Amino acid sequence: MIRVTERMEAKGDVSDSSFTSVTSLTLKCPKKIPQQYVLPSFQRSNHSLLDHISTEFPIIDLSMLNHPAHMPKLVNEVGAACKKLGFFQVINHGIPSWVMKDAIDSAEELFRLPTDKKMCFASADVHAPVRYGTSMNHVIDKVLFWRDFIKHYANPISEWIHLWPSDPPSYREKMGSYAKAANTLQKQLMEVIMESLGLNADYLHDDIEEGSQVMDVNCYPACPEPDLALGMPPHTDYGTLTILNQSQQGLQIMDQDKKWHAVPFVQGALIVRLGDQFEVLSNGRYKSIRHRAILDTHKQRLSIASIHSMPMEKKVGPAPELIDEQHPIAYKEGSFSGFLDHISVKSVSEEDTYLDTLKIHEA
Ligand SMILES: O=C(O)CCC(=O)C(=O)O
Ligand SMILES: [Fe+2]
């Protein structure tokens, strides 16, 4: 979905049927990008004007996660990061670096396969449990984005993994190990975040246990004109939280003053972002962070976003415990079940996103 009124399945109208993926496109035109990928100038990432890489973004050490004496400090740090931006990085998170790297390597191998091998997963159905797509599935205001992706459901892994690509042969094992580890980390983080809101650590425990996990595996090939295009448009994720594993720098986030910042690459760290469901659940105390992916002239970038959300059928509204006189209810209950394409994008015309439509404005 992109906006409330239009799904992101726009196809054909601006796409050139002679190619099927950005990966194959890069082999054909090494110097220039096709016109469809060129963004209007005000939407470009404009590297030279970008704020310096900020060192202010929180990096939170999780090594003390299981030490009750250190929990209050951790809860405070996480709470402060969620309140300010809905964004932080974590180190010593318990996922071995080889598990992270294996997942990235298996994704890279997958995208390197001939297009026809990946096209068998292509689907126009956003509810398909496995879905391969290219920029052609991703048209906003007639602009395409420089990204190929595969998405697959992951929770519970035993139910879905046999549907994932079997080529490259180690994909299921390597991506599966990472997906399981990311889900465990997500549950630990949810407990800390719930506590930081003053709720019980096991608040919504069963919903979190049965919640949806979608692995959004992104490939942004090297782009000959990175300043003219984007890998992913500015958007917020729809879920509760997203854990991102990446091969190199390329993510940018928007701060409260609507300024873009490049997120520094920290070896071994994972990026944690809050999504729309958390903004609603927290009655607006925490924000869903707007972000985008930029491109590099020389290097392809891989990222794996493990996107976690409440069970699909569940309506999400503000926690009653977080509504009081100082904090009147700020959101209507929302049903996010149609949001498996997972991103909430404002188009050039700045139409409301789904999250905007849930906001209750005071008279
Ligand atoms: O590649 C990135 O850094 C961003 C990916 C992303 O935003 C997503 O998959 O939702
Ligand atoms: Fe995202």
- Residue 310: which CATH number? 2.60.120.330
In a domain, 106, yes or no: yes
Whole-prediction pTM value? 0.92
In a domain, 6, yes or no: no
- Per the CB < 8 A criterion, the answer to whether 274 and 289 are in contact is yes
In a domain, 8, yes or no: no
The predicted complex's ipTM stands at 0.99
Q: Are strands 148-153 and 130-133 parallel, antiparallel or unpaired?
A: antiparallel
Lowest mean pLDDT among 23-37, 243-257, 282-296: 23-37
In a domain, 51, yes or no: yes
> Which pLDDT score, from 0 to 100, does residue 2 have?
34
**Which residue intervals of 94-243 are DSSP H helices?**
97-112, 115-119, 157-160, 171-196, 205-209
Report d(CA 260, CA 325) in Å as an integer: 34
Give the residue, by CA position, lying nearest to ligand 1 atom 8.
305
Examine the pLDDT at 117 and tell me if it is beyond 60.
yes
Kindly indicate the confidence band of residue 358, based on its pLDDT and cuts at 50, 70 and 90.
Answer: very high
Q: How many domains does the chain have?
A: 1
Kindly indicate the confidence band of residue 16, based on its pLDDT and cuts at 50, 70 and 90.
Answer: very low
In a domain, 5, yes or no: no
Give the residue, by CA position, lying nearest to ligand 1 atom 6.
305
Q: Is 67 left (phi over 0), alpha (psi -120 to 50) or beta?
A: beta
Q: Which runs of E-coded beta strand occur in 41-81?
A: 59-61
Q: Which atom of ligand 1 is nearest to the CA of 149?
A: 9
In a domain, 2, yes or no: no
In a domain, 363, yes or no: no
Would you say the CB of residue 251 lies under 6 angstroms from ligand 1? yes
Kindly indicate the confidence band of residue 17, based on its pLDDT and cuts at 50, 70 and 90.
Answer: very low
Domain limits at 310? 15-358
Give the residue, by CA position, lying nearest to ligand 1 atom 1.
303
- Per the CB < 8 A criterion, the answer to whether 15 and 139 are in contact is yes
Would you say the CB of residue 219 lies under 6 angstroms from ligand 1? no
Q: Are strands 232-237 and 343-345 parallel, antiparallel or unpaired?
A: antiparallel
Q: Are strands 87-91 and 59-61 parallel, antiparallel or unpaired?
A: parallel
Radius of gyration of the chain (CA): 20
> Which pLDDT score, from 0 to 100, does residue 174 have?
98
> Which pLDDT score, from 0 to 100, does residue 338 have?
67
Q: Which pLDDT tens digit goes with each residue over 138-185?
A: 666 778 889 999 999 999 999 999 999 999 999 999 999 999 999 999
CA dihedral 174, 178, 184, 189 (to 10 degrees): 180
Higher local confidence (pLDDT), 64 or 28: 64
In a domain, 291, yes or no: yes
